Amino acid sequence: EAQVTQNPRYLITVTGKKLTVTCSQNMNHEYMSWYRQDPGLGLRQIYYSMNVEVTDKGDVPEGYKVSRKEKRNFPLILESPSPNQTSLYFCASSLSMTGYGYTFGSGTRLTVV
Amino acid sequence: GQNIDQPTEMTATEGAIVQINCTYQTSGFNGLFWYQQHAGEAPTFLSYNVLDGLEEKGRFSSFLSRSKGYSYLLLKELQMKDSASYLCASPAAGNKLTFGGGTRVLVKP
């Protein structure tokens, strides 16, 4: 089954404790992206990747890192999480950067206390 | 730049029709998407318009007018399961899909 798999689904952590949210897709998509979703603000792009070893900042990259060492994986790293990073996070992948056929992961609800 | 506007919330009765409007200003238009998102779940693809006009898919239809920077999503024969947020989105120059804030639709019996 074609899918984007995110883990974990839920995570509660403390300020400053490094964490990684994993994202993996099995569709051989070149384009992958991370979004965060907050009430009243909609989905905002954090980082995106157009291919292996090619990543770039989205609208709200501060406090986040990503890597794309393999085509299928695009982890989101929070080196020192803060409470303002409490949010619902989605990974998405697509055949192209224009977004046609975006497939989203099931989401990760992160709480930083 | 990219700016996408849609109403925050709409309420409708089961069996009725609801139209969700979306206006956009974009520096490089490359089509317009509609996604459905149930609370706490991932957005799922509904439609994609790149040319002017109406595209119908069962109970859902989407319309686009590029000259007016306007789109709408029409939901017919509303069912309780249609209660969800509906997201308007457009690819912008700069390799991203930009989303509007979403319209929460509440279907009442």
Kindly list the residues from chain B whose CB atom is less than 8 angstroms away from the CB atom of residue A90.
Answer: 42-43
Residues paired with B73 in a beta bridge: B20, B62
Termini Cα distance of chain A:
36
Asked if B75 has any chain A CB less than 8 Å from its own CB, the reply is: no
Q: How far apart are CA B11 and CA A87, in angstroms?
A: 26
Contact: B87, A101; criterion CB under 8 Å: no
What pLDDT, in 10s, does the model give residues A58-105?
989 999 999 999 999 999 999 999 999 999 999 999 887 665 668 999
Whether pLDDT at A24 is above 70: yes
Average pLDDT of the residues of chain B: 91
pLDDT score of B2: 61
The residue ranges of DSSP E strands in A1-113, in sequence order, are: 4-7, 10-13, 19-25, 31-38, 42-51, 54-57, 65-66, 76-78, 87-94, 103-104, 108-112
* Res. B94 pLDDT band, cuts 50 70 90: low
Percent of chain B clearing pLDDT 70 (strictly above): 92
Q: How far apart are CA A36 and CA A107, in angstroms?
A: 9
Asked if B95 has any chain A CB less than 8 Å from its own CB, the reply is: yes
Asked if B68 has any chain A CB less than 8 Å from its own CB, the reply is: no
Instruction: Kindly compute the dihedral angle of the four CA atoms of residues A87, A69, A31, B92, in this order, to the nearest 10 degrees.
Output: 60
Tokens representing B107 are: 């279907």
pLDDT score of A11: 97
Q: How far apart are CA A30 and CA B49, in angstroms?
A: 23
Q: Smallest CA–CA separation between A41 and chain B, in Å?
A: 6
Q: How far apart are CA B8 and CA A106, in angstroms?
A: 23
- CA torsion sign for B63, B66, B67, B72 is positive
Q: Measured between CB atoms, which of B33, B42, B96 is closest to A104?
A: B42
Best residue of B32, B50, B99 to probe chain A, by most A CBs closer than 10 Å: B99
* Residue found under tokens 């991932």: B42
Q: How far apart are CA B87 and CA A42, in angstroms?
A: 9
Contact: A59, B89; criterion CB under 8 Å: no
Asked if A46 has any chain B CB less than 8 Å from its own CB, the reply is: no
* Distance (Å) of CA A38 to CA A70, A111, B40: 29, 12, 11
Q: What angle do CA A4, B36, B50 make, to 5 degrees?
A: 90
Best residue of A37, A94, A110, A111 to probe chain B, by most B CBs closer than 10 Å: A37
Q: How far apart are CA A41 and CA A93, in angstroms?
A: 21
Average pLDDT of the residues of chain A: 93
* Residue found under tokens 């706490």: B40
Asked if A97 has any chain B CB less than 8 Å from its own CB, the reply is: yes
Asked if B31 has any chain A CB less than 8 Å from its own CB, the reply is: yes
Instruction: Kindly compute the dihedral angle of the four CA atoms of residues B81, B83, B87, B88, in this order, to the nearest 10 degrees.
Output: 90
pLDDT score of A113: 97
Contact: A97, B96; criterion CB under 8 Å: yes
Q: How far apart are CA A68 and CA A50, in angstroms?
A: 9
